[in-house]
Amino acid sequence: MINLCFHGIGTAPYGVPAEEAAYWIDADTFHRVLDLVGERSDVQLSFDDGNASDVEVALPELTARGRTADFFVIAGRLGNPGSLSADDVRGLHGAGMSVGSHGMHHRVWRRLSPAEQYEELVVARRRLEEVLGQPVRMAACPLGRYDRATLTALRRLRYDLVYTSDRALARPGTWRQARFSVRAHDTADDVRAWLRHGDRYAARLADSARTFVKGLR
Ligand SMILES: [Zn+2]
């Protein structure tokens, strides 16, 4: 299976950091990608960063197409201008979407101090759980980066699924899953190539993934 990850849709609002703006795509590209995906059950969709476009653009399209997706919200931005509100997050969930944590401050989950790790993995999740009134069991690593200590902590904290951005195919049911992020310069044709030939990316990454997993033991 293949996981596609989206961020903002439309024009990035003024003030969005450059490293995030590089992942905003226009609505036309978004529609084309959804057309490509169609009803394929081996393609899973997710949305990172909790931008307002999640409810303004993505949700109506997904609903119209009868698809569900996973939304990874930055707890520290809830209610900020341009970001989802608590009501928006409940609305996503009420519409059949899944909600996971993208941490508190959108900082890289590498070399976190104990206090930072607690804030990112425990406090952020708790804040989302208070909004939803139910457990949050999924996380997506901000900016796709993580290290062994963070993965160990996510396991200890009993997260059920952790998404990365490692651009490889994923195996259903595995605890850590790679995703292909659609970036500002990607076209629907690029995504078509991933959907057709995603295994080529996987072959290249499999060795490093194995090495990495060995390092975890
Ligand atoms: Zn992010």
Domains of the chain in sequence order:
2-214 (3.20.20.370)
- Say if residue 116 is exposed, middle or buried (CB neighbours under 10 Å; 0-12, 13-18, 19+): middle
3 state SS of 71: strand
What's residue 198's pLDDT?
75
Q: Which residues surround ligand 1, an ion (CB under 5 A)?
A: 48-49, 142
What's residue 208's pLDDT?
54
Cα distance between residue 145 and residue 190, in whole Å = 23
What's residue 110's pLDDT?
97
Q: CB–CB of 179/164 below 8 Å?
A: yes
CA 140 to centroid of ligand 1, rounded, Å:
8
CA 14 vs CA 17, 20, 24, 81: distances in Å: 9, 12, 12, 11
What's residue 14's pLDDT?
87
Angle, CA of 153, 19 and 29, to the nearest 5°:
105
CA 142 to centroid of ligand 1, rounded, Å:
4
Q: What is the pLDDT along the chain (217 residues), one digit of tens a residue?
A: 999 999 999 999 988 999 899 999 999 999 999 999 999 999 999 999 999 999 999 999 999 999 999 999 999 999 999 999 999 999 999 999 999 999 999 999 999 999 999 999 999 999 999 999 999 999 999 998 999 999 999 999 999 999 999 999 999 999 999 999 999 999 999 999 999 987 776 545 555 555 455 445 4
Cα distance between residue 81 and residue 94, in whole Å = 22
Contacts of 109 (CB under 8 A, 6+ apart): 103, 120, 141, 142, 145, 146, 147, 150
CA 217 to centroid of ligand 1, rounded, Å:
28
CA 48 to centroid of ligand 1, rounded, Å:
5
CA 21 to centroid of ligand 1, rounded, Å:
11
CA 106 to centroid of ligand 1, rounded, Å:
6
